């Protein structure tokens, strides 16, 4: 970004798993901000993650290997505390659909109230506006090919976890 302040952005999430929509937001944020820290939450509120913290971080690292100003890490507890601890100047979030906005708006205001750091929203690319980690996991577990929805590095790890074929449905 132009100006005298170097902008270091945090892109937080569960990334269980990272999707092509997440990767698109990271690529666009990396072109806007001086540095982007992708921060994986340690205990996602969504119970029973499919991927361990290490797997989630590793998949993101591989998918972002060509982005020199992107780092991958994790945090536990309050995002507002983490943002202050690492000295980030902005939080980045993707917005897929209008219904995302309601929750994200109050979260952004709470994070600004707690940390003084603002959230910048990037509209999701329409190609990925219907793609969520939850849906990707659901269709994958029911046998669908998810190559269109996740980066190749993620697909590789997912395939190693594919559940055994279920007996024929009656
Ligand atoms: O990918 P997700 O699950 O939509 O990401 C949600 C995440 C990790 C960004 C959010 O749950 C979060 O910030 N968790 C940290 C705990 C926290 O700070 N909660 C208060 C938010 S105002």
Domain range annotation of the chain:
8-160
Integer Cα distance of 123 and 47 in angstroms: 27
Does the beta carbon of 114 sit less than 6 angstroms from any atom of ligand 1? no
Q: Which protein residue has the closest C-alpha to ligand 1 atom 21?
A: 107
Query: What is the average pLDDT across 93-110?
Result: 95
Ligand 1 neighbourhood includes 110 CB (under 6 angstroms)? yes
* CA 165 from centre of chain: 29
Q: Is the pLDDT of residue 106 over 80?
A: yes
Does residue 50's CB lie within 6 angstroms of at least one atom of ligand 1? no
Tell me whether residue 133 is one of the annotated catalytic residues: yes
pLDDT at 43: 79
Percent of the chain with pLDDT over 70: 92
Q: Which of 20, 22, 56, 93 is catalytic?
A: 22
Instruction: Give the homologous superfamily in CATH for domain 8-160.
Output: HUPs (3.40.50.620)
Kindly indicate the confidence band of residue 56, based on its pLDDT and cuts at 50, 70 and 90: very high
- Does ligand 1 have an atom closer than 6 angstroms to the CB of 84? no
Global pTM value: 0.93
Q: Are 117 and 88 in contact (CB under 8 A)?
A: yes
HSE-CB at 148 with a 13 A cutoff on CA atoms is 8
* pLDDT value for 162: 74
Catalytic residue among 96, 115, 124, 137: 96
Tokens of residue 135, six digits: 């849906």
- Flag whether pLDDT at 99 surpasses 80: yes
pLDDT at 165: 67
Cα–Cα distance, 37 to 6 (Å, whole number): 13
Q: What is the mean pLDDT of residues 71-75?
A: 98
Model pLDDT, residue 39: 98
């Amino acid at each position: 970004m132009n100006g005298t302040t170097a902008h270091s952005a945090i892109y937080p999430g569960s990334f269980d798993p990272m999707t092509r929509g997440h990767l698109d937001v990271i690529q666009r944020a990396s072109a806007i901000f001086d540095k982007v820290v992708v921060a994986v939450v340690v205990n996602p509120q969504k119970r029973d993650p499919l991927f361990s913290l290490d797997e989630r971080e590793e998949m993101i690292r591989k998918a972002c290997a060509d982005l020199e100003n992107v780092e991958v890490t994790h945090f536990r507890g309050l995002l507002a505390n983490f943002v202050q601890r690492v000295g980030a100047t902005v939080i980045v979030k993707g917005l897929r659909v209008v219904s995302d906005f309601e929750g994200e708006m109050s979260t952004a205001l709470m994070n600004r109230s707690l940390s003084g750091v603002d959230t910048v929203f990037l509209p999701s690319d329409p190609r990925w506006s219907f793609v969520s980690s939850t849906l990707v996991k659901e269709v994958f577990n029911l046998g669908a090919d998810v190559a269109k929805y996740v980066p190749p590095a993620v697909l590789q790890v997912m395939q190693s976890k594919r559940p055994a074929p279920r007996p024929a449905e009656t």
